[in-house]
Every structure is written in structure tokens, then in C-alpha cells.
Amino acid sequence: MENLFIPIGGGSEIGASCYLYIIDGVKIVIDSGIRFSRGNPYPEFELLKALAPELDAIVITHAHVDHCGSVHILSQLYPETPIYTTNETAQLLSLMVEDAIKVRFIKERNCQKEWEEYKLLDKALSLVERRDFYDKIEIKGIEINLLPAGHILGASSVLIKYGEGKSVFHTGDISLSRQETVEGAKLPKGESIELLVSESTYFYSGKKFNREESEEEFFKSVRETVNRKGKILVPVFALGRAQEIILLISRGMREGKIPPITVYVDGLAREITNIYENLLEKEIFNYYVQPAPTYEGLSFKEACRENLREADCILSTSGMLLEGTPSYVYGELLSKRGENSIIMSGYLSEESFGYRLINDKEVLKRFKCQVRKHHFSAHSGKDELEVIRESLLPKRTVFVHGYPGSKDRLNHAFNREVIRF
């Protein structure tokens, strides 16, 4: 029987990840995300419904909204289909999707629709089946295993075993390198892999990461700012990067690489860090790094001003310094004085304000403070993605979740493209 793999979203883009597999007649969708850019935020659900009127399983790899932000919309289309994910992802997902709905409807100002979406999310959450890593999930004669993917807490790769000893490996967002909050990914062993579907966030740019170097540069930027009595903003993604940076700063203080400073964590990062503390059963907040206080009766901007008076350093979402988000408000306040710093710490999409601030001299001119970028990655660079391919020896590899250049299109799976294996 011919097996199919079709990206419904998240093919040659980072956003709206949604991948349909039809293997031995069993229909599985991995992930259901949203896009950050303007236009339709969802995967092409109409196409999905045409290709698969019924679904046997939905798997969510992790709780970043480009992988789970539309799970409630997908689940409405398939109200009987179980949603498999890890316990950690299940806990993080509800807060992340709720926030994505909130952010969208702040712009649209449509309370009725917003309320309906929360109800759909509740219904979807009731269909979630929590599984541990390596559990056998049996679906109509094929077996699915969730494997640790590194990346962020709870993130999994998906191994699908079928036929006589054959398998497909879907990396999801993956990192072989260990981070402060998660170990590196674990790859399957001894499998005969027909198809490897690999993420390619940093594949085409050829990026490699040197964590130690980035850490030293980050500490240096913090030291220099503190020495000239400036304040620091680190825009962070709420889930993953925020907790990594908190632990990095705490370690830097412990090891004497940066002086003791007061750090406030604001926005959604504050709530997500509380969930991390519960899941990891360890304290992430400490004497120096605290959740930012909230103030009754103050506007958000006034509260930010108050926090900047108290703290030396603010960690806040969004990580890409998107206009109208808390980090943007802090950034504007800090931009007025040359001794302050904004330190970018991760991925910046080309449409984001953070990207323009780094790359457009005209935008930078408006900011008197220092702007730095030290790259920490929760994704494997090109070198690690090659290691994955070489150690799994798949019969065929296709890349998704990335932007191939014009010359690298051959092994890339685009939205709507049908890959047969």
C-alpha cells in the first residue's frame, strides 16, 4: 500500500505546522499550529478535511503555538479523534493556546468569538491523552512512540512504526544539545527508517551554535551595562527561552561572571515559569530573579516604569519585540538613555520589530540605548541536523519548518505537496 506525507501547513514556513500522514490506511495528523504573519493564521484545514474526512489520531509535539495554537479548531473538525501528547505539553498547551486566542481577539475586539474559542479549547483538552516518552501508542495496527526532542520541556519527536519493521521519524522542533531546562534529544535506535521528516529552522542558513561563546558574550553585555549603571531588557519567548535565560543569569551570578542584580520576569513568561517550577520540581525564581509585581490602578506603561525603577534587568515577552507587546513597551522606555541595553536572545522573523531594530539603521537611530544580539538556540543547527540524518540512515529525508533558498528545494516538502513512500 502506498503511504503518504502531506504538509497542510508548516512546509516552507515557520508557523501553522500541520502534517498529515496516511500510513497503511491509518490517518494521523502531527501538530496544529498558527502563523505569526498577517493573513490566514491557520493551516489549510479545508484541504485536510478533503484528504481525510476522518482522522485516527492527532499528535501534538510541543506547546509552542506554531505547533499547537489551532488545536481547538482542528479538534472541532474531528470531535471524536484523540489528541496524544506528553504530560508536560498538555499542561503548557492550555495556557499557550489560551494566550494566543486572547492576543488575537484583543486586535479583533470580538468577545463572542473569543468566548466560543475558549469553549472549543475546553472541549479539545478533554480529548487529550497524556503519554510518557517511549509509551507504546497503538492505533489500528501501527505504533506511535513519543521520544524526547530536547528543544523545550515536554517536546517530543514522533516515531511511527508500521508494516514489517518499517518506520517514519518526524523530528518536530529538535535540539541534540542539552540546555538548562532539558536534556538533548534522544534518537531512535535500530529502526529501519523509510522516511525522515526533519525540521530545518537553521538548516539552510548553515548556522552552527557555540553555546559557551554566546553565554560569555551575554555575560559581558550584562556586566558592561551594570558597570555604566544602565538597565537591561532581554525580550524572551514565554515558553522555553525565558526559563533558560533565568537559569543562565542565576548561574552567571553564582559563578561571579555577572554582579548580583535584581531581575523581574514579566508577561506570560511569569506564568509559564510557575508551570516549569511545578513540572521540574525545582525553583527557577530565586532571591534575585522574581516575578514582576502587578499594580492595581496603574496603566501597563506606568507599571513598566515602576518595575524599571526597582529592577536592573527585565525579561519579558515577546521575544521578537513585536509592537504592542510588553517587551516593546519596556524597550521604548529603555531606548531613551545610552547607558541602557536591549539584549536579543533568539529567533527574529524578518517581519518583527526586533529584526528591524538589529538590521535597519534608520530604526536603530531612534534607540539611544545599546542593542545587542547573542544567539541561544533551542533548535539544532545544520551540523546537528546532519548528525541526525547520518545516524538514522533513512531511505529518504524531507525537510519542513524552514525557508529553503531557490537552489535547495529538492529535498524540501512544501505545503500541499504529496510525498509518497
252 vs 404, beta carbon nearer Zn ion: 404
30 vs 246, beta carbon nearer Zn ion: 30
> Do the beta carbons of residue 157 and residue 146 sit within 8 Å?
yes
Q: Provide, rounded to whole angstroms, the least separation between the CB of residue 50 and Zn ion.
A: 25
> Do the beta carbons of residue 154 and residue 88 sit within 8 Å?
yes
**Measured at the alpha carbon of residue 12, what is the angle toward residues 7 and 16, in degrees to the nearest 5?**
60
CB-based contacts of 189: which residues, under 8 Å, 6+ apart? none
Site string for Zn ion, 59-78 (x = CB under 5 A): -----x-x------------
Rounded to whole angstroms, the Cα distance separating 175 from 171 reads 9
161 vs 241, beta carbon nearer Zn ion: 241
**Where is 234: in which H helix or E strand?**
strand 232-235
| Burial of residue 302 (number of CB atoms within 10 Å: 0-12, 13-18, 19+) | exposed
173 vs 312, beta carbon nearer Zn ion: 173
13, 117, 173, 384: which one binds Zn ion (CB under 5 A): 173
Site string for Zn ion, 23-62 (x = CB under 5 A): ----------------------------------------
Q: Provide, rounded to whole angstroms, the least separation between the CB of residue 265 and Zn ion.
A: 20
Q: Provide, rounded to whole angstroms, the least separation between the CB of residue 147 and Zn ion.
A: 15
Q: Provide, rounded to whole angstroms, the least separation between the CB of residue 298 and Zn ion.
A: 34
Q: Provide, rounded to whole angstroms, the least separation between the CB of residue 307 and Zn ion.
A: 28
34 vs 333, beta carbon nearer Zn ion: 34
176 vs 342, beta carbon nearer Zn ion: 176
> Do the beta carbons of residue 127 and residue 81 sit within 8 Å?
yes
> Which cell numbers in the block locate residue 333?
522606555
Rounded to whole angstroms, the Cα distance separating 182 from 110 reads 38
The one segment of 87-95, 170-178, 241-249, 358-366 that binds Zn ion by CB under 5 A: 170-178
Rounded to whole angstroms, the Cα distance separating 179 from 183 reads 6
> Do the beta carbons of residue 71 and residue 46 sit within 8 Å?
no
Q: Provide, rounded to whole angstroms, the least separation between the CB of residue 365 and Zn ion.
A: 33
The one segment of 169-177, 291-299, 336-344, 407-415 that binds Zn ion by CB under 5 A: 169-177
Q: Provide, rounded to whole angstroms, the least separation between the CB of residue 173 and Zn ion.
A: 4
Pairing of strands 156-162, 289-291: unpaired
CA atoms within 13 A on the CB side of 28: 28
Site string for Zn ion, 117-156 (x = CB under 5 A): ----------------------------------------
66 vs 191, beta carbon nearer Zn ion: 66
372 vs 379, beta carbon nearer Zn ion: 379
Beta bridge partners of 4: 22, 420
The one segment of 165-173, 257-265, 325-333, 407-415 that binds Zn ion by CB under 5 A: 165-173
67 vs 166, beta carbon nearer Zn ion: 67
Rounded to whole angstroms, the Cα distance separating 373 from 203 reads 20
Tell whether residue 379 is a contact of Zn ion (CB under 5 A): no
Looking up cell 516552507 gives 12
Q: Provide, rounded to whole angstroms, the least separation between the CB of residue 250 and Zn ion.
A: 23
Provide the CA 285 distance to its chain's centre, in angstroms.
21
Rounded to whole angstroms, the Cα distance separating 82 from 306 reads 46
Rounded to whole angstroms, the Cα distance separating 122 from 244 reads 30
Q: Provide, rounded to whole angstroms, the least separation between the CB of residue 329 and Zn ion.
A: 25
- Site for Zn ion, rule CB under 5 A: 64, 66, 173
